[in-house]
Structure 1
Amino acid sequence: MSNNIKNIVYRTLSKAWATLLEINYDYRFKDGTWKRISRESYDRGHGTGILLYNVDKGTIILTKQFRMPIYHTNKDEAMSIEVCAGAIDDNDLPESTIIREVEEEVGYLVKDVKKVMETYMSPGALTEKMYLYVAPYSEEMKVNEGGGLASEHEEIEVMEIPFSKALEMMVSGEILDAKTVILLQYAQINDLIKNRE
């Protein structure tokens, strides 16, 4: 790959909340021609997401919160239903990050999480890689009400719903978040949670 790219020039467009770069480079195509390409790359670090499930109850835990980028394009979909998730800070491990986020966002203290995949959510524009997990939860693990951190300006609604309903919401378009769709489909494909009403 390194033989097909040269003359890379970076220009910082913004370093407000994260880093937005303009990257110009020469790229050699399969026919041997070189072309000058310009792209923008948004670096906000990497993230984690987790599907919490209760086999006995046939339920899962999701969150609901306002998302300004969605509001900007479609006001009706701005209250996004998602799995619990969070950004990885500095040198933190993905696993310790998601365990902390679960306690902060939804109020459960989980210890054993299973990584199911790593995925780039929008590789044409974002550097972010998502580390996706699943973990069982029970009422004994409940340590607080969740809702996120006021210091991070979070206002998160915690939703405990039947897994079967979540699948219906995915099909109907009520759930549109990609990491959530991926984890719901993972759970469905692997028969992680029995469908119950």
Structure 2
Amino acid sequence: MKIDYTYKGKKKIWEAVLSHDSVSIILYNKDRDAFIIVKQMRIPVLNSNKTNGEMYELCAGLVDKDKPKVQIAKEEVFEECGYDIDVNSIKKVTSFYTSVGISGAKQTLYYAECDDSMIVNDGGGLIEEDIEVLYIPLKDAKDFMFDKNYQKTPGLMMGFYWFFDNIK
């Protein structure tokens, strides 16, 4: 969409995309001493950066339902990763804005611990998604963060940093 606005007394135009806010979840599996992340194809990354388009991300989802964000986070963990986590065990970390040059959507970051007893399915997302669930051992996580062979989101890196600064 095109936005006409006035800033510091000057008329200006900006192009933007309307998008939903989102949630993301730092998932730590205690049994495996590992982060649970997802890998999925992101067509905009494929087209814009001449990469394979596969992104390594925190479990995340759009706030496109009339539900509390923490409930949406719980549902995303179930849908994408296959874990049934008690909504009361999910802790809010912070909120921040993403894609500020094009959409300015707000993402709320959560943290949850889980174990293998909470696995109820293989995850993988919805039928139109092709999500692979991955485990990044804590001992390898810092190397993974800076390995340029893996295309990662800033939210994943921020989540790992937060974990190491606040949990381990």
Shared fold per TM-score greater than 0.5: yes
Q: Confirm whether residue 149 of structure 1 aligns to residue 122 of structure 2.
A: no
Tell me the alpha carbon deviations over residues 138-162 of structure 1, each in whole angstroms, 9 at most, x when there is no partner: 0110010100111xx0010010120
Q: Which residue, 169, 178, 181 being the options, matches 2:154?
A: 178
* Residue 39 of structure 2 corresponds to residue 59 of structure 1: no
Which residue of 1 is the match for residue 96 of structure 2? 119
Q: What is the aligned partner in structure 2 of residue 12 from structure 1?
A: none
Unaligned 5+ segments in structure 1 are 1-20, 29-33
**TM-aligned CA deviation for residue 42 of structure 1:** 1.4
- Number of aligned residues: 165
Go from structure 1 to structure 2 and tell me whether the alpha carbon gap of 1:122 and 1:179 turns closer, same or farther (over 3 Å shift): same
Distance 2:66 2:2 in 1: 26
The one-letter code of the counterpart of 1:94 is K
Residue of structure 1 aligned with 2:165, choices 164, 169, 189: 189
The match for 2:108 among 121, 124, 131 is: 131
State TM-score, norm by structure 1. 0.79
CA distance in 2, matches of 1:136, 1:125: 33
Q: Secondary structure at the match of 1:76?
A: coil
* Larger RCO, structure (CA 8 Å, separation 6 or more): 2
Q: Name the amino acid aligned to 1:84.
A: C
| Aligned equivalents of 1:54, 1:104: Cα separation in 2 | 17
TM-score by length of 2: 0.92
Runs (4 or more) in structure 1 with deviation over 6 Å come to none
1:35 aligns with 2:10: yes
1:3 aligned residue? none
After superposing the two structures, state which structure 1 stretch, 103-112 or 170-179, moved more: 170-179
**What is the match of residue 64 of structure 2?**
89
When the two chains are superposed, the root-mean-square deviation of aligned CA atoms in Å is: 1.4
